[in-house]
Structure 1
Amino acid sequence: MQDVYFSFLILCIAASSFGIGHGQKVFNVVDFGAIGDGQIDDTNAFLSAWQALCGDDVAQGTPSLQIPEGKTFLLQPVKFQGPCKSVFVHVQVKTFQVQGKIIAPNTIEEWNNCQADYWIGFVGVANLNMYGSGLIDGQGSKAEHICFRIFYTVEVSFSVKLLKKQSRTLQALNFEKCDDLQLSGLTHVDSPKGHIGITDCNGVLISNLNIAAPENSPNTDGIDMARSTNVHIQDSMIATGDDCVAINGGCSYINITNIACGPGHGISVGSLGKDGQYDTVEEVHVRNCSFTGTQNAARIKTWQGGSGYARKISYEQITLVASKNPIIIDQYYCDGVNNCRNSSTALQVSDVTYSGFQGTSVDEEAIRLDCSDRGCINIVMDNINITSLDPGKTTYAYCEHTSGTSWFTAPYVPCLSVSGY
């Protein structure tokens, strides 16, 4: 069923691409007053162009918001709101074409809204295609310190919880309730926090992106998704200070293919079940990905005290180059800020397959299945060969409350029934 869905989505992409140049109506932000010198605030011009596009009732073609090359556009936190008018919404893909450069403010005098949940947001825009060869630069190291200074006094006067809430702000690019979304070709750098957020979306195709942030930049996830279904991420390079891809609660039918991750914290399911929350994730499939110099590679992380499940998950044909935790299930996850307490309840982790892992681990412990008393059920290892980065050392596996099988797996996993080795 999922293959049929993605085949249909690809056909829609082909149809929309064919339509470009045939009846396409272009809304160039420069025509609406954008300067593009990197100094003057172009937010209002972008909004005016978007409102013209979104309110345009065209009978044929694809309305396109164009950001021309050779210019640098400064934007404050901005929301592009849908739904948009169109006679044939189901076939007319509204496009957001980026060829130039978009930057965030980089001084405390310029940044006017640190309370925003994102820097650039699209809400309720169906059939949105955002593509091009341009650059989206969050100027993260500067922006994060700006907002930290603004809210530091608030934290001192009131609570760490409030500071924590504000520290999740400033995701660079966020899509909420944007069904049948396409995102491709762009370069995303130095977000103040997460680079790309996908929330409450159904039908997403992300491809050929280049996402980069320093290895020591905190919480700079590459792609972070929640409550979304039928998401396909492929053919991209992601190097950040946090998860290359994070799959959070409410996600299902996620396919991640041909991603070069590193540095970063790997491709992670979770964290799930925080503050006793009920979370579910299922049908997540990661294939043909590489992890170079990552803190983790294939990771599932859940908090104690939560409920729900993470199931039907697979990591297949994985290449490891000096990964610190190549395979890890952590049901005792704690971010170090919270007062993490022991609990007798946990999410159920089941039906997880690891297949075709080859490469090196920085630590001798190459596999860690640290499951709660409820246990991790039907964990399958097949054709795993993880060796130490140090030729003089031997890798090993740790596991607790885990059941399943393994075929031709090295290092040996003591909790699993062995069929070959």
Structure 2
Amino acid sequence: MGNIVAPRKSASSWGQEQNSWIIFSKVEGLKVTGNGNLDAKGADWWNSCPSTLRFQSCSFLDVSGLTSIDSGRNHISIDNCSHGTFSSITLIAPDESPNTDGIDIANSNNIEIMNSNITTGDDCIAINSGSSYINITKLSCGPGHGISVGSLGKNGEKAEVEEIHVKNCSFYGTMNGARIKTWQGGSGYARKISFEEIQVFDSFNPILIDQYYCPKKPCTSQSASAVQISDVTFKGFRGTSDKAEVIKLSCSQTVSCTNILVEDVDLRSTEAGKGAYSSCINAHGRSSQSAPPVDCLLP
């Protein structure tokens, strides 16, 4: 019900678990609730990067009402968990803060996130390999980097992600809205993913598939292998972007994206003198009732 405040000392203050501040491990039926604040004093810890709150190998979680302020790295990390509900959560960090993902999910299944607000310097939600049956509804994101599936396939790793569903969410001044990002040279799949009924307000990349993800150059520009992206739906998008290219489906040149649907989309550019447009590399699927049209989707 009150405030929990992190120390302002060296990284050794965290003890042996220096990658996290507060950890719940191997607990079944855990409930964490209340209107208290977790204040991680993030600016003091950005170089050592501890996450604020980590759940690992937990099941049947119920987390609600918490506020996390100024995380050192991820606000909330969910790893090897199953059947969890996260609701009415507020996560806040400056838009220039590095690697401060709101919620980072890995190797977890049947996770539901709803009715929450995330303002941060990186992905509002990042969904990593080994995750399935993730449902995100009524989330407000911004600033931040949007909701991302990935990054996947780094250093040739095999990734497996499926049944990710995002609905009735809003993005305010974010770098991205709906994003899937993979490295060149990976393998595995990201499939059965949907983003529906999405509002974007001056988001830089409202709809983005990026299979050439490489935040620090140089990287391999083309590889014989890639994470296979398939069965992805972008439906019911409305809003604005501060650049003209509002839909970008940039798929691997060697492993195409298949069964991509873009439907019922109305996205406009606020960039002076330029109209909104879409682009594709090796993307296959169909589009209907889209403004701008996505004629580059190949049948």
Paired amino acid for 1:332: Y
Q: Please give the TM-score of this superposition, normalised by the length of structure 1.
A: 0.68
Conservation of the 8 A alpha-carbon contact between 2:12 and 2:18:
no
In structure 2, the CA distance between the partners of 1:137 and 1:332, relative to structure 1 (3 Å rule), is: same
> How far apart, CA to CA, are the structure 1 residues paired with 2:72 and 2:102?
12
Conservation of the 8 A alpha-carbon contact between 2:14 and 2:21:
no
> How far apart, CA to CA, are the structure 1 residues paired with 2:218 and 2:101?
20
> How far apart, CA to CA, are the structure 2 residues paired with 1:112 and 1:246?
25
Q: In proportion to residue count, which structure has more helix? A: 1
Match among 9, 23, 31 for residue 129 of structure 1 = 31
> How far apart, CA to CA, are the structure 1 residues paired with 2:142 and 2:32?
25
Tell me how far 1:411 sits from its aligned partner: 1.1
Partner of 2:45: 143
Q: 1:161-199: CA deviations, max 9, x gaps?
A: xxxxxxxx4111000011001110010110100100000
Is 1:291 paired with 2:171?
yes
In structure 2, the CA distance between the partners of 1:182 and 1:367, relative to structure 1 (3 Å rule), is: same
Q: 1:335-370: CA deviations, max 9, x gaps?
A: 216744531100110000011000001110101100
> How far apart, CA to CA, are the structure 1 residues paired with 2:20 and 2:217?
22
> How far apart, CA to CA, are the structure 1 residues paired with 2:220 and 2:143?
27
Partner of 1:104: 6
Total equivalences in the alignment = 298
**1:15-414 equivalences in 2 (<5 Å):** 99-108=1-10, 111-113=13-15, 116-145=18-47, 147=48, 169-336=49-216, 339-340=219-220, 342-373=222-253, 374-390=255-271, 392-414=273-295
Conservation of the 8 A alpha-carbon contact between 1:320 and 1:358:
yes
Moved more, 107-116 or 286-295: 107-116
**Structure 2, unpaired ranges of 5+:** none
Q: 1:80-113: CA deviations, max 9, x gaps?
A: xxxxxxxxxxxxxxxxxxx011111113398354
Conservation of the 8 A alpha-carbon contact between 1:193 and 1:218:
yes
> How far apart, CA to CA, are the structure 2 residues paired with 1:350 and 1:118?
34
Conservation of the 8 A alpha-carbon contact between 1:114 and 1:170:
no
> How far apart, CA to CA, are the structure 1 residues paired with 2:280 and 2:96?
29
Structure possessing the higher radius of gyration over alpha carbons: 1
Paired amino acid for 2:263: D
> How far apart, CA to CA, are the structure 1 residues paired with 2:270 and 2:16?
43
What root-mean-square deviation, in Å, do the aligned CA atoms of Structure 1 and Structure 2 show?
1.7
Conservation of the 8 A alpha-carbon contact between 2:11 and 2:18:
no
Query: What percentage of aligned pairs have identical amino acids?
Result: 49
Moved more, 260-269 or 105-114: 105-114
**Structure 1, unpaired ranges of 5+:** 1-98, 148-168
Tell me how far 1:415 sits from its aligned partner: 2.2
Paired amino acid for 1:416: L
Tell me how far 1:256 sits from its aligned partner: 0.2
Choose between structure 1 and 2 for higher RCO, CA contacts under 8 A separated by at least 6 residues.
2
Q: Please give the TM-score of this superposition, normalised by the length of structure 2.
A: 0.96
> How far apart, CA to CA, are the structure 1 residues paired with 2:14 and 2:97?
23
> How far apart, CA to CA, are the structure 1 residues paired with 2:56 and 2:77?
8
Give SS of 1:323's match. coil
Conservation of the 8 A alpha-carbon contact between 1:327 and 1:367:
yes
In structure 2, the CA distance between the partners of 1:109 and 1:416, relative to structure 1 (3 Å rule), is: closer
> How far apart, CA to CA, are the structure 1 residues paired with 2:37 and 2:248?
38
Conservation of the 8 A alpha-carbon contact between 1:406 and 1:417:
no
Q: 1:280-327: CA deviations, max 9, x gaps?
A: 110000000000000000000001111000000000000010000000
> How far apart, CA to CA, are the structure 1 residues paired with 2:43 and 2:127?
25
Paired amino acid for 1:267: I
